[in-house]
Amino acid sequence: MAQERVFPEEFGYHFSSGNFERIYRQTVQDFQLQMGVDAFREAAEDFSRDSGSFDLKHSNQLEPGIRRYQWVNEGGNRMVTVAYNSEGEIIGIQFDVYERFTSDREVTINTYRLPFEGEWFVLWGGNDAFLNYHYPYEHQRYAYDFIRKVDGAAYKGDEEMLESYHAFGASVVAPRSGEVVKVTNDIEDNLPHYPNMSAPEGNHIIISHGYNEYSLLAHLRKNSITVREGDAVEAGQRIAQCGNSGASDTPHLHFHVMDGRDPYTSKSIRIQFAPSREPRQGDTVWGRSGQ
């Protein structure tokens, strides 16, 4: 007899009803190699206990052929994220606490522009853990990761070559006028899918903008930074190129604003953008040219 399918829009019903083995049978082989059915059932039962029903909160498609769904329980404190491929198979399931923070109500005093020119895509960004994997961590809670896409794809050609990625080598600009207070420019760019965890920011720039606000631009291309510590920069000034250095598996630009110059002891601040609205994961955004 053919296996009954768990369609994406029905996942929350089946999870709330405890149909965990039925869900498991629809997962791909790689998932099953990492977790057996008994372990999955035990984890799902423990997570769903006293949670009530799960309702669909978000869904989005970040790359061709893969769509993610976020289900949140009626108490608003537990979250299940599930990813389906185009064949209707489940390629990943994640259980997490659904957190919100009072810092969501606070925004930067300064306004900032997008730190690039032309069309980019918001890979991670927003004020919840579904939209933004940085969100649980205070020091980078409101960070963004931007990539470039052409015809829906981040690269063309050999995905193992940095030059295949549309973001690699693209201009990075100052998000606001200020003084450069930190530059690192000599870290090798990683081969795709081999992040350098020993130097997480990779090549990066930190700029002071006044009012105890500092922007961080990270994962820049080696030797592409054109400013030095102590330099004054203007909003929109080209200062580097996007790269793949540090804790980056494929070329992208990391950007956030913090209340100090140390990326680990400072708190991330929700960014007030102008003239554009606050971007969110899945948005296509445009950075204007010039200052």
Per-residue pLDDT of the chain (291 residues; tens, 9 = 90+): 346 899 999 999 999 999 999 999 999 999 999 999 999 999 999 999 999 999 999 898 877 788 999 999 999 999 999 999 999 999 999 998 888 899 999 999 999 999 999 999 999 999 988 899 999 999 999 999 999 999 989 999 999 999 999 999 999 999 999 999 999 999 999 999 999 999 999 999 999 999 999 999 999 999 999 999 999 999 999 999 999 999 999 999 999 999 999 999 999 999 999 988 999 999 999 998 765
Residue written as tokens 């973001």? Answer: 167
Token duo for residue 73: 């329980």
State how far Cα 3 lies from the chain centre: 35
For residue 251, say if its preceding peptide bond is cis, omega within 30 degrees of 0: no
Give pTM, 2 decimals.
0.84
Q: Residue 134 in contact with residue 141, Cβ under 8 Å?
A: yes
Query: What domains can you pick out in the chain, each with its CATH number?
Result: 8-97 (3.10.450.590), 102-287 (2.70.70.10)
Q: Encoding tokens for residue 241?
A: 């190129």
